[in-house]
Amino acid sequence: MIAHILSSQTVRTFCWGLRCAMLGIVVSGCEKESGPTKVSGQVVEFYTGKPVPYGKVQLLASNPNGRINIVNGGGLNAKGDPHLADAQGRFTFTFEAQRNINYGLRGRLDPYYFGNTEVSIDGGRANNDLRVPVFAFAWVRYVIVNELPKPPNSVHSLYITGHGSGLGINIYQPRDTVIIERVIGGTNTRTTWFVRDRQGKSTQYDKNTLVPPLDTLDVRITF
């Protein structure tokens, strides 16, 4: 009986200690969510990984009331002014994190780079060596040429797709012209165009294209 009582007391003591330990872990975890928070890293181009000189990083924070910001996406809103990186794209700053708030970073450099990727931040601790990716813009110059002159109005329409918004470019009764479209640089893309005649017959043409970041690529479109 005495052994049984001691055993029960030992078990109760162990369980109480375990609960205290678990509580300590939870409290410690919560404390790390708030307080002084250091953020440092580098703004880089998404595809090449090269530094983006004088890029900007925007601190983002979730809404305390849980509302989702449709404009910014992910429920994260801009917090304070953007932080400027140096000539090597490096940045460092500190802020006071609040408990139960999610934080992130997004980079940009208008009008040449934009960011739609959020890098998460842990509040109440040092966040070092972060890489904040941004996408570089580029431009495609579609040079549209009637390579073998055809009778007037024999070509009904010309449709070009492969870059830009993805909606494509639709031209009725095409003629020799040039169209410039802003795209995301550094991506391998297949440019496709369809030439449709008055009888409804459509002919497809393809060309593999790579637009370097911050550059302009000529794509010859013939019909």
> For residue 165, which amino acid is it?
S
Q: Which pLDDT tens digit goes with each residue over 66-122?
A: 544 434 445 689 999 999 999 999 999 999 999 989 999 999 999 999 998 899 999
What whole-number distance in Å separates Cα of residue 67 and Cα of residue 186?
35
Helix, strand, or coil here: 28?
helix
User: Average pLDDT for residues 14-32, to the nearest whole number?
Assistant: 37
Q: What is the pLDDT of residue 66?
A: 53
Q: What is the pLDDT of residue 55?
A: 97
Q: Which pLDDT tens digit goes with each residue over 162-217?
A: 876 567 899 998 999 999 998 899 888 889 999 999 888 999 999 998 888 999 99
Task: Inform me whether the pLDDT recorded for 161 exceeds 60.
Answer: yes
Q: What is the pLDDT of residue 121?
A: 94
The set of residues, in sequence order, having a beta carbon less than 8 Å from that of 45 and lying 6+ positions away, is 51, 52, 113, 133, 134, 135, 136, 186, 213
- What domains does the chain contain, in order, with CATH numbers? 35-136 (2.60.40.1120), 138-222 (2.60.40)
> For residue 3, which amino acid is it?
A
What whole-number distance in Å separates Cα of residue 82 and Cα of residue 57?
5
Helix, strand, or coil here: 31?
helix
What whole-number distance in Å separates Cα of residue 124 and Cα of residue 101?
11
User: Average pLDDT for residues 2-9, to the nearest whole number?
Assistant: 36
pTM of the model: 0.69
Q: Which pLDDT tens digit goes with each residue over 41-74?
A: 999 999 889 999 999 999 999 987 654 443 444 5
Helix, strand, or coil here: 202?
strand
Q: How confident is the model at residue 152 (pLDDT cuts 50, 70, 90)?
A: low
Q: What is the pLDDT of residue 64?
A: 72
Q: How confident is the model at residue 6 (pLDDT cuts 50, 70, 90)?
A: very low
Q: What is the pLDDT of residue 31?
A: 41
Nearest to 124 by CA among 145, 106, 102: 102
Q: What is the pLDDT of residue 71?
A: 40
Helices and strands counted in the chain (H then E): 1, 15
